[in-house]
Amino acid sequence: MQRTVTRLACTKLWSKILSVELVQQGSFSYRSLKTLSELGTKEAKIFYKAVRLMCRFNEEHSGRLLTGLYKKPTLINIFSSSGKVSLNLNQFGLSYTHLISLAELGLIHQQEIESAPYNSKDTLKLSQNKQSFDVVVKQKDVVFTYYKLTPSGYELSRLVNPPNDSDFINYLLRDFGDLLSGNYDVTTKA
């Protein structure tokens, strides 16, 4: 029975790709299709979890899998560990070994990336799936750490329509509360 369910899910996925390609040719690269053909059920579930936790800043298209936030050290607080917040994605079903698997498959970049430093009072529109909210940076030189989707990962992420995860958003906003403030009323996009 599981084999039938897996085949049905794969058939739906490939039919979705075909329908997108019929409307707009070249939507999926050969590399993305090859990666998708090599994905097993386990890897597909891991990728789904990653896409479910992806966030976007302002109007960017590709997503960021946020892993932390910190204030750049100054001479005064260079040896202090305060101001650094790491997110525990494992409690949402995405462990570090899962991130390594996604990187090996070419769906996310292998290195964790740091954003450019944000200044005090910079406003960011943070979106997660169909929810968005505005945050204001409280201090200067605040840096986000994250994993970014590769071009293939981005193309394939468009096939996934995950539900909103209010637990993750609440966790994110609570842990980032020392360095960010703002409108935490989570809104749903139309």
> What pLDDT score was predicted for residue 188?
38
Is the whole-model pTM more than 0.85? no
| Distance separating the N- and C-terminal Cα atoms of the chain | 37
pLDDT at 2 over 50: no
Please give the residue that has the higher pLDDT: either 73 or 184. 73
Q: 10 Å Cβ neighbour count for 190? A: 4
- Give the domain range for residue 58: 2-188
> What pLDDT score was predicted for residue 186?
44
Q: How confident is the model at residue 166 (pLDDT cuts 50, 70, 90)?
A: confident
Q: Which of 75-84, 110-119, 137-146, 178-187 is the most confident on average?
A: 110-119
Cα 41 to the chain's mean position, in Å?
20
Please give the residue that has the higher pLDDT: either 23 or 81. 23
> What pLDDT score was predicted for residue 101?
94
> What pLDDT score was predicted for residue 5?
40
**Of the listed ranges 9-18, 20-29, 34-43, the one predicted with least confidence:** 9-18
CA distances in angstroms from 3 to 6, 9, 16, 40, listed in the order given:
5, 10, 20, 12
Sign of CA dihedral 46, 53, 84, 110: positive
Q: How confident is the model at residue 185 (pLDDT cuts 50, 70, 90)?
A: very low
Sign of CA dihedral 109, 114, 116, 118: positive
Tell me how many domains the chain contains. 1
> What pLDDT score was predicted for residue 108?
94
